[in-house]
Structure 1
Amino acid sequence: MTDFDDLLKANQEFADHFQLGGFDGKAHAGVAIVTCMDSRIDPLRMVGLKHGDAKIFRNPGGRVTEAALEALVLGVHLLNVDRILVIPHTRCAMAASTEDEIHEKIGASTGQDVTWHTFHVIPNQRLALDEDVRKVRSHPLIPDTVKVGGFIYDVDSGLLTQHA
């Protein structure tokens, strides 16, 4: 037995009933979502979408990083994206800790000094969201015709609140 047998078994069951093949890889609802990697977030279902409707980019804190911008530019020009949602969430570990606290926790877990690594904590989630939406709206390769919105997802109620 390997470390991944349970997942491979589940994948085989998934594949035995797989009906999602044949998609062209485009965002059929024209949507791209940048959100956190938090497992409490179901990015498609929370906005009423299904497989093939949207492009999803996830990272700690749901920030618009250089990699996220790259994905959004590709989505806009190659994959039918014309609406972009930036969605951080409540009770996010990246917004609830300082850089020093994260360093301390990771350092304790690894038994080594990790202060050389930046974890990009979010001291003010609303300001960060505003900044991220501005980054997308002002990017020279994302046309003004693309609609960009900033929302916060409440992990306890499932509701989105628009902030930008």
Structure 2
Amino acid sequence: MTDVAELVSRNADFVAEEFLTAPGLTINPTGNMMIVGCVDPRVDPSHVLGLRRGEAAVIRNVGGRITPATLRTMQMLGKVGQAHADGRAEGPWNLVILHHTDCGMLDLAPFDGLLAEYFEVSPDALAAKSVSDPYGSVRVDVDIIRQEVRSSDFLVSGAVYDVSTGTVEVVVPPTAVPVA
């Protein structure tokens, strides 16, 4: 079992080996990127995608899904970014939705009430969420972003990580979000 003392010891190593070697990080990601991914410990988006510290903001939740709560979190982070606009890198903002194979969401499929509450929908609307198919669910979530986010400087893409091979497949290439 990993305990808090072990974590504090690892932190000391982090400070000595990494923290002091990356000065000048800002609250805005240097890569103008946000990743939404699953909490599954096999699928750490920073590690799987080779992100450097400070390169992307990472939101993790059950299934890596775009839920009303995720949208609210993104909205709050957008306000933080606006408050620090002088530290934002030039270019479009990139949102990558990363789902994965063998997700625990499959185990939740029989629990309609729980899933309906999570997605803040009625149980009869769950089929449209594609809970049992990571390729379908990433398309659903990209569509939600395209409907809910209105910015001329925003790209969204969707990918699936295969936990058995370690590879990432782009399912929805980077697409500009329509501004209505």
- Name the TM-score, length of structure 2 as normaliser: 0.68
Determine the C-alpha separation between the residues in 1 that align with 2:47 and 2:73: 21
Could you say which residue in structure 1 is the equivalent of 2:6? Answer: 6
The one-letter amino acid paired with 1:153 is Y
State the aligned residue count: 146
* Higher helix proportion: 2
Matching of residue 118 in structure 1 with residue 118 in structure 2: no
Where does structure 2 lack aligned partners over 5 or more consecutive residues?
Answer: 83-87, 119-125, 173-180
Say whether the 8 Å CA contact 1:76–1:82 is kept in structure 2: no
The structure, 1 or 2, with the larger RCO (C-alpha pairs under 8 Å, 6+ apart) is: 1
Say whether the 8 Å CA contact 1:35–1:58 is kept in structure 2: yes
Q: 1:43 aligns with which of 30, 33, 45?
A: 45
Quote how far apart the aligned CAs of 1:14 are.
Answer: 2.7
Could you say which residue in structure 1 is the equivalent of 2:171? Answer: 163
Question: Secondary structure of the residue that 2:45 maps to in structure 1?
Answer: coil
The one-letter amino acid paired with 1:10 is R
Question: Secondary structure of the residue that 1:88 maps to in structure 2?
Answer: strand
Determine the C-alpha separation between the residues in 2 that align with 1:57 and 1:82: 15
Determine the C-alpha separation between the residues in 2 that align with 1:95 and 1:154: 15
Quote how far apart the aligned CAs of 1:50 are.
Answer: 0.4
Quote how far apart the aligned CAs of 1:134 are.
Answer: 1.1
Quote how far apart the aligned CAs of 1:74 are.
Answer: 4.4
Question: Secondary structure of the residue that 1:118 maps to in structure 2?
Answer: helix
Where does structure 1 lack aligned partners over 5 or more consecutive residues?
Answer: 101-114
Determine the C-alpha separation between the residues in 2 that align with 1:24 and 1:163: 31
Quote how far apart the aligned CAs of 1:27 are.
Answer: 1.0
Could you say which residue in structure 1 is the equivalent of 2:143? Answer: 134
RMSD over aligned CA atoms reads 2.7
> Aligned ranges for residues 13-162 of structure 1 at < 5 Å?
13-17=13-17, 18-19=19-20, 20-76=22-78, 78=81, 80=88, 82-100=93-111, 118-119=114-115, 120=118, 122-140=131-149, 142-162=150-170
Quote how far apart the aligned CAs of 1:9 are.
Answer: 2.8
- Name the TM-score, length of structure 1 as normaliser: 0.73
Quote how far apart the aligned CAs of 1:12 are.
Answer: 3.1
Determine the C-alpha separation between the residues in 2 that align with 1:50 and 1:66: 28
Say whether the 8 Å CA contact 1:84–1:146 is kept in structure 2: yes
Quote how far apart the aligned CAs of 1:69 are.
Answer: 1.6
Quote how far apart the aligned CAs of 1:157 are.
Answer: 1.8
Tell me which stretches of 4 or more aligned residues in structure 1 moved more than 4 Å. 74-77
Say whether the 8 Å CA contact 1:27–1:52 is kept in structure 2: yes
Would the alpha carbon gap of residues 97 and 149 (structure 1) be closer, same or farther in structure 2, given more than 3 Å must change? same
